[in-house]
């Protein structure tokens, strides 16, 4: 008899094969959390070099105190949608604070960054309209496109000329076009060529959305992301982002100067049909947003750590991405070698993420590390030593 799970047979076979090469890979549990940068993994203290805790705020005392106060005063959850009983004063305050910080007219807070993309893309652009997205965009962007049933075309990663070619083809169509890019790309940590993208989108009268998930708190004079760093905030119609990285919590948002942004609330299924963020999450996010603005030294420390790791891996001849960033990824063609490096790092007390195709941009395996402002100089030295140790253990990693 047929089983509903038959379609997963290929997946099961792949998993079994991968387990043979590296059974630890499927059984990673953070058994005890010591701090934002350290946990007990497989019974041993391990430095976390794979989280997106860029400013190290998940353990900040102000954020923790704010969350504890909120949970005591307002309970563990809102138990309702933003459209019903789930809008508390804190949600509105955070929306005001985000709009003010980004210097935009309005902001909407969503339950996660994934939901923010799902909500914005599925609502803004529908059947008969067009989305042009960078091929390396995050899965949540692709899923938002699917949910809205817009016509979707991908342009080559970080290639404004390819974008222009596609916009030119659409020129005679009387329809809305939304271009989507990310600030820092989540896998390789490379920046989008935003100045060029903004110039192209302006020339063709398209709209532009930038997902600053990995660049909020990381890029720009005040941490607003790549659009701020590149000086093109005026050219970005919608900024989306998440609270789950630099802000150390969970949640998502969109800010915009389009006065109609508020309409999304009424038309968006991912906004209406899910519970709103719990009060403690909103409270810690508000505290984190204040710290992000007040303590630029965190961004400076983050970049010192980012440059140190990038330069170390480059000097060790690993095939790293095109530019230094808090995301430092090594590309590897060979799965066995990727597993060996990943296990070797773990044995040396360092956890990084191993990302396998098809989740990677170009079909290679990725050893994706990320650093935090909270990594101490000693921890950074241990991370660098671990990479040096595994580099000596394995065959010479080939530049891809
Ligand atoms: C570019 C990008 N957008 C959105 C998301 C989703 O954010 P969240 O984890 O808050 O749902 C991620 C998550 O990694 C991401 O990398």
Range with the lowest mean pLDDT among 20-29, 225-234, 262-271? 20-29
Closest CA to 241 of 325, 193, 184: 184
Model pLDDT, residue 89? 98
The catalytic position among 58, 111, 122, 186 is: 186
Q: What integer is the mean pLDDT of 200-207?
A: 98
DSSP state letters, 139-154: HHHHHHHHHHT-EEEE
Q: How many residues does the chain have?
A: 400
What does pLDDT average to over the chain?
95
Which residue segments constitute the domains of the chain, with CATH numbers given?
16-48+295-391 (3.90.1150.10), 59-294 (3.40.640.10)
- CA of 244, closest atom in ligand 1: 10
Rounded to whole angstroms, the Cα distance separating 277 from 283 reads 10
The catalytic position among 91, 138, 201, 245 is: 245
Closest C-alpha to ligand 1, atom 14: 186
pLDDT higher than 60, residue 397 = no
Range with the lowest mean pLDDT among 308-312, 331-335, 372-376? 331-335
**3: CA distance to ligand 1 center in Å?**
33
Range with the lowest mean pLDDT among 58-62, 149-153, 250-254, 391-395? 391-395
Query: How confident is the model over 339-391, as pLDDT tens digits?
Result: 999 999 999 999 999 998 888 877 889 999 999 999 999 999 999 999 999 98
Model pLDDT, residue 394? 66
**338: CA distance to ligand 1 center in Å?**
24
pLDDT higher than 80, residue 296 = yes
Model pLDDT, residue 22? 77
Strand bridging mode 38-41 / 44-48: antiparallel
pLDDT band at 113 (very low <50, low <70, confident <90, very high): very high
**40: CA distance to ligand 1 center in Å?**
25
Per the annotation, the verdict on 186 as an active-site residue is yes
Range with the lowest mean pLDDT among 32-36, 313-317, 320-324, 391-395? 391-395
Q: What integer is the mean pLDDT of 189-207?
A: 98
Rounded to whole angstroms, the Cα distance separating 189 from 219 reads 12
Mutate to test the pocket of ligand 1, among 51, 109, 110, 114 (most ligand atoms within 8 A of CB): 114
The catalytic position among 91, 214, 277, 278 is: 214
pLDDT band at 18 (very low <50, low <70, confident <90, very high): confident
**44: CA distance to ligand 1 center in Å?**
29
Q: Which residues of 206-226 are buried (b: 16+ CB within 10 A; e: fewer)?
A: bbbbbbbbbbbbbbbeebbbb
pLDDT higher than 60, residue 130 = yes
**212: CA distance to ligand 1 center in Å?**
9
Model pLDDT, residue 165? 98
Range with the lowest mean pLDDT among 31-45, 222-236, 380-394? 380-394
Rounded to whole angstroms, the Cα distance separating 60 from 64 reads 6
- CA of 243, closest atom in ligand 1: 10
Pocket of ligand 1 (CB under 6 A): 112-114, 117, 138, 140, 182, 186, 211, 213-214, 242, 244, 252
pLDDT higher than 80, residue 23 = no
Query: How confident is the model over 39-80, as pLDDT tens digits?
Result: 999 999 999 999 999 999 999 999 999 999 999 999 999 999
Residues 6+ apart with CB under 8 A from 389: 344, 348
pLDDT higher than 80, residue 317 = yes
Q: What integer is the mean pLDDT of 213-239?
A: 98
Range with the lowest mean pLDDT among 130-134, 249-253, 271-275, 362-366? 362-366
Closest C-alpha to ligand 1, atom 7: 113
By percentage, how much of the chain surpasses pLDDT 70?
Answer: 98
């Amino acid at each position: 008899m047929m089983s509903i799970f038959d379609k997963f047979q290929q997946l099961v076979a792949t998993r079994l094969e991968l387990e043979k090469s590296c059974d630890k890979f499927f059984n990673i549990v953070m058994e005890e959390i010591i701090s934002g940068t350290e946990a007990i993994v497989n019974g041993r203290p391990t430095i976390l070099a794979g989280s997106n805790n860029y400013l190290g705020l998940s353990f900040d005392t102000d954020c923790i105190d704010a969350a504890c106060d909120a949970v005591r005063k307002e309970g563990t959850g809102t138990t309702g949608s933003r459209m019903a009983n789930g809008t508390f004063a804190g949600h509105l305050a955070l929306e005001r604070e985000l709009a003010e910080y980004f210097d935009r007219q309005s902001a909407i807070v969503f339950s996660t960054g994934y939901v923010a993309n799902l909500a914005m893309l599925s609502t803004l652009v529908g059947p008969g309209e067009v989305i042009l997205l960078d091929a390396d965009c995050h899965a949540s962007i692709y899923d938002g496109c699917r949910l809205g049933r817009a016509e979707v075309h991908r342009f080559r990663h970080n290639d404004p000329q390819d974008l222009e070619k596609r916009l030119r083809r659409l020129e005679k169509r009387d329809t809305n076009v939304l271009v989507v890019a990310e600030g820092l790309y989540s896998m390789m940590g490379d920046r989008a060529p935003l100045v060029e993208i903004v110039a192209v989108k302006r020339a063709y009268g398209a709209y532009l959305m930038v997902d600053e998930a990995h660049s909020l708190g990381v890029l720009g004079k005040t941490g607003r992301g790549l659009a701020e760093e590149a000086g093109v905030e005026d050219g970005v119609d919608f900024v989306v982002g998440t609270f789950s990285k630099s802000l150390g919590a969970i949640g998502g948002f969109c800010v915009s100067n389009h006065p109609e942004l508020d309409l999304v609330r009424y038309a968006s299924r991912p906004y209406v049909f899910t519970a709103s963020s719990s009060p403690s999450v909103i409270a810690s996010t508000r505290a984190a947003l204040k710290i992000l603005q007040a303590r630029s030294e965190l961004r400076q420390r983050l970049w010192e750590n980012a440059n140190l790791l990038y330069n170390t891996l480059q000097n060790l001849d690993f095939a790293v991405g095109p530019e230094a960033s808090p995301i430092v990824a090594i590309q590897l063609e060979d799965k066995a070698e990727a597993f060996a490096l990943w296990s070797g790092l773990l044995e040396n007390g360092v956890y990084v993420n191993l990302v396998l195709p098809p989740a990677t941009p170009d079909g290679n395996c990725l050893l994706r590390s990320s650093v935090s402002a909270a990594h101490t100089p000693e921890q950074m030295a241990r991370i660098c030593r671990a990479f040096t140790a595994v580099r000596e253990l394995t065959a010479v990693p080939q530049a891809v």
